[in-house]
């Protein structure tokens, strides 16, 4: 089976004040290497999308991952998703979309992938107290919908709205699936 994860890491991290991909996370790791380890350990090939401003982070990418540069990252997250999608082979079975600033423990990824497969889901999303979190997992049949996202149609939000009724939601008992590290305060809470 061919499973991939697009790791969005091309943002300028302006609210954080420094490159999020290089922030320490765990013992001897950065947010980027931590994320890569988690995805690689469950058999996904991570495709890391970086911007021109942090292209040097390619050196942090682990064996088995793919680093790509989005030369248009200043135009928004959608351009990074589309850039990553260009590197996903047509035979991809499950595509996860994750952000470097949304680290998750291995158990979360394992549970989501298992639920996705067990339910033949089109889209799988983690939830905490009914609120949808990340990462999102997409069936291979969703590729054409993802390839057509745009700023005008609100990107992934439009896909989520369009397919909301068929999203397989996996409820977690801890808010970890909602973690999104955008500011130094968010980072210091963990």
pLDDT digits (tens, 9 = 90+) for 127-159: 999 999 999 999 999 999 999 998 888 889 999
**Hey, which bits of the chain come out as E strands?**
3-9, 44-51, 66-70, 94-99, 123-128, 131-132, 136-139, 167-172
Burial of 90 (0-12, 13-18, 19+ CB in 10 A): exposed
Q: Where are the alpha helices (DSSP H) in 74-142?
A: 77-85, 106-118
Beta bridge partners of 36: none
- What are residue 79's phi and psi, to 5 degrees? -65, -30
Span of 14-28, 60-74, 113-127 with lowest mean pLDDT: 14-28
Flag whether the pTM goes above 0.85.
yes
Q: At what angle do helices 106-118 and 31-41 cross, to 10 degrees?
A: 40
Looking only at the bridges linking them, the beta strands covering 123-128 and 131-132 are antiparallel
* Cα(135)–Cα(131) distance, integer angstroms: 13
- Interval 40-69 mean pLDDT: 93
> Tokens 């499950």 map to which residue?
94
* Backbone CA torsion sign across 131, 128, 110, 68: positive
* Better-scored residue on pLDDT, 54 or 116: 116
Q: Of all residues in the chain, what percent carry a pLDDT higher than 70?
A: 97
Q: How would residue 5 be classed by pLDDT, with cut points 50, 70 and 90?
A: very high
What are the CA-CA distances from residue 142 to residues 96, 137, 171 (Å)? 11, 10, 22
* Cα(160)–Cα(157) distance, integer angstroms: 5
Q: How would residue 1 be classed by pLDDT, with cut points 50, 70 and 90?
A: low
User: Running DSSP on this structure, what letter comes out for residue 62?
Assistant: P
């Amino acid at each position: 089976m061919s499973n991939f994860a697009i790791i969005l890491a091309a943002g300028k991290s302006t609210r954080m004040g420094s490159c999020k991909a290089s922030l320490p996370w765990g013992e001897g790791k950065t947010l980027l290497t931590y994320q890569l380890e988690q995805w690689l350990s469950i058999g996904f090939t991570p495709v890391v999308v970086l911007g021109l401003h942090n292209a040097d982070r390619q050196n942090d990418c682990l064996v088995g991952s793919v680093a790509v540069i989005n030369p248009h990252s200043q135009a928004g997250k959608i351009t990074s998703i589309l850039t990553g999608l260009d590197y996903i082979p047509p035979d991809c079975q499950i595509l996860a979309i994750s952000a470097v600033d949304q680290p998750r423990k291995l158990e979360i990824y394992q549970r989501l992938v298992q639920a996705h497969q067990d339910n033949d889901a089109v889209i799988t999303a983690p939830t905490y107290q009914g609120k949808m979190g990340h990462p999102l997992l997409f069936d291979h049949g969703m590729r054409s919908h993802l390839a057509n996202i745009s700023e005008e149609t609100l990107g992934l939000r439009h896909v989520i709205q369009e397919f909301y009724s068929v999203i397989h939601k996996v409820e977690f008992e801890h808010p970890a699936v909602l973690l999104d590290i955008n500011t130094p305060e968010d980072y210091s809470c963990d």
